[in-house]
């Protein structure tokens, strides 16, 4: 019974890549063949077959991670297209191979990548979200920064836990429960030098998101604790990580009851979990993020991911209303099927990205980032952490937008 079952699961998958120029110069075809050869030679994910050849019939490689039967080939299939063929693997494994090709897509100039983008989006949207990591209190910095000594981590944990206790008195917890969001001013005092130290990190690591420029135009990067420490922002990182354990332990925090069983490491008593990295987002002149929800409804009425609370800490010294860049949050907007409906029906509050301000809100609420319009070259930066509540709710992955951002217009050189 096992063999027929395997035959049904281990299939051959194909993905076509149209060539962007017809007729295609022979040099472009050779370059695409060489790109695949370089990919399978340099990347640990692949392994050249013993009989590996690069010819008019195409090239092939093994994928050891997926077993001895998994084989990947890439060849010119028609005068106007290349074909990626993956045999002996599951649909999920094929998705991961598409992800790998998408990560390296700029090596394959001359091809239309729209089909690859769709396949990658379908893969990510089919996976259950990551359940996060145990948010225990006091938060142990050792979990994220093992290079620190035990005494250093104890001091950092105690300091961040004490700060969060001071930021969330009963009145703040009540407002968060009743309104779905709360603004805490002077949560922290980040020096301009520390905020500016992100510039180098952003230059090296920041990128446009996978979403269309019609939705958002900011640049983002993700900071580990060691990244945050190198930027002088380790205390801000620790503060954000310490909120979930505080809420888990605080009896005044009323967590909405759920009919779904928790997913480890979340529990019924301690439902919130933490990520390992926090996001830094940078908005230049005119940049914006259209109305969206961090955990909206999917077509079946379920939630798209495990995000439960969003924390945003602002790093902008001397910011004023004339600079724009406010986060516009819609009250009571968590159960609307579309953002248009939420914007039409729900009143809003604009929260300026003032340095030292912490905004905490229900991840389901519709919100947007208004354009940065200061006209003086000021950069809007913020740190964001999503506390998650992993449950057996049927959520499947993050929403991975299919906007192209001009990626299929690569020049042929």
Q: Give the angle subtended at the CA of 378 by the CAs of 207 and 191, to the nearest 5°.
A: 90
d(CA 148, CA 228): 14
Are the beta carbons of 223 and 280 closer than 8 angstroms? yes
Residue 204 CA neighbour count, 13 Å, CB half? 8
Check if the beta carbon of residue 278 is closer than 8 Å to that of residue 228: yes
Among 94, 89, 80, 104, CA closest to 17: 80
Contact 317, 355 (CB under 8 A): yes
pLDDT lower than 70: segments of the chain: 1-9, 49-58, 205-210, 251-252, 397-413
Question: What's the pLDDT at 404?
Answer: 42
Q: Across-strand partners of 362?
A: 309
Q: Is 328 exposed, middle or buried (0-12, 13-18, 19+ CB in 10 A)?
A: middle
Residue 8 pLDDT: 43
**Residue 4: predicted pLDDT:** 41
- Global pTM? 0.79
Return the pLDDT at 58. 57
The confidence score (pLDDT) of residue 208 equals: 61
- The Cα–Cα gap between 320 and 215 comes to 24
Give the other-Cβ count within 10 Å of 367's Cβ: 25
pLDDT at 412: 39
Nearest 5°: phi and psi at 408? Answer: -90, 15
Please answer whether residues 56 and 76 qualify as being in contact, where contact means their C-beta atoms are separated by less than 8 angstroms. Answer: yes
The pLDDT value recorded for residue 90 is 93
Q: Are 45 and 103 in contact (CB under 8 A)?
A: no
pLDDT at 233: 94
Pick from 203, 207, 228: which is nearest to 218 by CA?
207
């Amino acid at each position: 019974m096992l063999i027929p079952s395997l035959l049904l699961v281990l299939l051959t998958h194909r993905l076509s890549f149209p060539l962007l120029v017809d007729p295609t110069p022979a040099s472009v075809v050779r370059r695409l063949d060489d790109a695949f050869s370089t990919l399978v030679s340099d990347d640990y994910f692949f392994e050249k077959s013993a009989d590996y050849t690069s010819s008019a019939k195409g090239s092939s490689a093994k994928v050891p991670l997926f077993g001895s039967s998994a084989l990947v080939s890439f060849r010119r299939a028609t005068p106007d297209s290349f074909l990626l063929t993956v045999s002996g693997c599951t649909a999920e494994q094929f998705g991961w191979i598409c992800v790998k090709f998408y990560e390296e897509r700029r090596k394959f100039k001359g091809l239309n990548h729209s089909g690859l983008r769709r396949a990658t989006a379908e893969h990510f949207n089919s996976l259950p979200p990551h359940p996060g990591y145990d948010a225990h209190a006091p938060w142990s910095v050792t979990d994220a920064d093992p290079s620190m000594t035990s005494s250093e981590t104890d001091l950092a944990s105690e300091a961040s836990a004490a700060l969060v206790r001071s930021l969330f008195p009963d009145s703040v917890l009540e407002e968060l429960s009743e309104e779905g969001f709360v603004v805490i001013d002077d949560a922290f005092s980040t020096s301009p030098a520390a905020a500016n130290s992100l510039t180098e990190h952003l230059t090296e690591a920041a990128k446009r998101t996978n979403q269309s420029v019609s939705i958002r135009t900011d640049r983002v990067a993700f900071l580990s604790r060691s990244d945050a420490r190198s930027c002088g922002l380790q205390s801000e990182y620790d503060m954000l990580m310490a909120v979930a354990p505080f809420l888990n332990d605080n009896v005044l925090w009323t967590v909405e009851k759920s009919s779904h069983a928790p997913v480890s490491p979340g529990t019924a008593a301690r439902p919130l979990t933490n990520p390992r990295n926090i996001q830094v987002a940078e908005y230049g002149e005119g940049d914006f993020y259209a109305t969206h929800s961090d955990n909206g409804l999917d077509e079946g009425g379920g939630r798209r991911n495990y995000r439960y609370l969003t924390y945003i800490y602002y790093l902008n010294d001397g910011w004023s209303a004339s600079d724009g860049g406010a986060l516009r949050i819609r009250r009571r907007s968590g159960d609307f099927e579309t953002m248009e409906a939420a914007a039409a029906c729900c009143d809003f509050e604009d929260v300026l990205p003032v340095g030292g301000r912490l905004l905490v809100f229900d991840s389901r609420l519709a919100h947007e980032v208004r354009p940065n319009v200061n006209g003086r070259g000021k950069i809007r930066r913020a740190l964001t952490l999503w506390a998650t509540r992993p449950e057996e709710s049927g959520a499947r992955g993050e929403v991975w937008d299919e906007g192209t951002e001009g990626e299929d217009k690569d020049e042929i050189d």
